[in-house]
């Protein structure tokens, strides 16, 4: 497929007909905003406000291999996120590859997080994303740690791609035939980071990055996903780096399940389990130190 065909298919799959009884969407309002980029350009965002407000805010970075996906494909997921957490959610429509390869999507993601921090300064701020957006989220968290310009209360990483070499994905027993394939990931990386020499940079090769002093983290992985093993490795490395981490294993699920929660019951159950864990992290961060008593906090196994 061409890039445009891939984008159209991704969007159509994401907004396919849904159940009308999927609950909390109606309790959330949304309005589109514009965010200034570091290079003087701008990009869209969508700000979701829940009916029940717990004083939190989430900067959300959508998946789609840095190539597909946008704020429309992830509209339903962000509404669920806002309603479940009682959080304002800022969904960033960062510019995508191949028109805007690395580092533009990452720079836009960081600009979105700074905009969120300025616009909602008194709230507990979560940096979050799924798939490619989760990779960007870690990059933003690393930048915020090093610059000190944003204090994140937590990060949510759903099935993150963190190994540009695809070493883990190539040896996975689920490398082909389970929605996302290794060939898909190779295509995405070629478009996002066309210069192979850049793929060793810490913002991309996240398994070899210095992960110390990142915010408490919830990592969600899917069992039948070529990215599963590198997600597990990331959770382990976060724990060894003394970052409080909860790893939620999505048993029986494929990559992208966060967008399937209103049509696949098990996906919905696992997504809510992930959000409950994030809620617990935010509650504990309010009244206690953000450092866990031991480096690897918890693994939650899907049912």
70 annotated active-site: no
248: which DSSP letter? E
Catalytic residue among 70, 163, 225, 229: 225
255 annotated active-site: yes
Catalytic residue among 73, 117, 131, 172: 131
Catalytic residue among 247, 255, 262, 279: 255
What tokens appear for 147 in the block? 């610059």
Nearest of 278, 262, 281, 292 to residue 76 by alpha carbon: 262
247 annotated active-site: no
CA 263/CA 68 separation, integer angstroms: 21
Beginning with the edge strand found earlier in the chain, give each strand of the sheet holding 87-92 in spatial order.
28-36, 42-50, 87-92, 56-61, 124-130, 154-158, 217-224, 245-254, 298-301
CA 293/CA 297 separation, integer angstroms: 8
Nearest of 284, 209, 219 to residue 245 by alpha carbon: 219
Instruction: Please list the active-site residues.
Output: 131, 225, 255
């Amino acid at each position: 497929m061409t890039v445009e065909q891939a984008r159209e298919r991704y969007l159509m799959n994401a907004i396919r007909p849904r159940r009308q009884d999927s609950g909390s969407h109606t309790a959330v309002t949304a309005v589109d905003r514009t965010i200034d980029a570091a290079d003087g350009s701008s990009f869209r965002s969508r700000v979701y406000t829940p009916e029940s407000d717990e004083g939190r805010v989430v900067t959300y970075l959508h998946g789609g291999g840095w190539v597909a996906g946008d704020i429309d494909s992830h509209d339903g997921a962000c509404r669920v996120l806002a309603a479940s957490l009682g959080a304002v959610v800022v969904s960033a429509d960062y510019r995508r590859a191949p028109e805007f390869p690395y580092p533009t999507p990452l720079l836009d993601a960081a600009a979105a997080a700074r905009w969120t921090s300025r616009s909602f300064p008194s709230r507990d701020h979560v940096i979050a994303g799924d798939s490619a957006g989760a990779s960007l989220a870690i990059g933003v968290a690393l930048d915020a740690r090093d610059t000190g310009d944003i204090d994140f209360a937590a990060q949510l990483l759903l099935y993150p791609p963190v190994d540009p070499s695809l070493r883990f994905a190539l040896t996975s027993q689920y490398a082909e035939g389970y929605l996302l394939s290794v060939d898909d990931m190779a295509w995405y990386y070629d478009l996002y980071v066309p210069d192979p020499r850049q793929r060793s940079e810490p913002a991309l090769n996240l398994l070899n990055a210095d992960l110390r002093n990142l915010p408490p983290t919830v990592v969600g992985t899917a069992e039948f996903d070529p990215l599963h093993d590198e997600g597990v490795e990331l959770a382990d490395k976060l724990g060894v780096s003394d970052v409080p981490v909860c790893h939620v294993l999505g048993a029986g699920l494929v990559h992208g399940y966060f967008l399937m929660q209103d049509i696949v019951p098990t996906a919905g159950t696992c997504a809510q389990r992930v959000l409950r864990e994030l809620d617990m992290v935010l509650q504990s961060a309010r009244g206690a130190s953000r450092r866990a008593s031991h480096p690897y906090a918890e693994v939650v196994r899907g049912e």
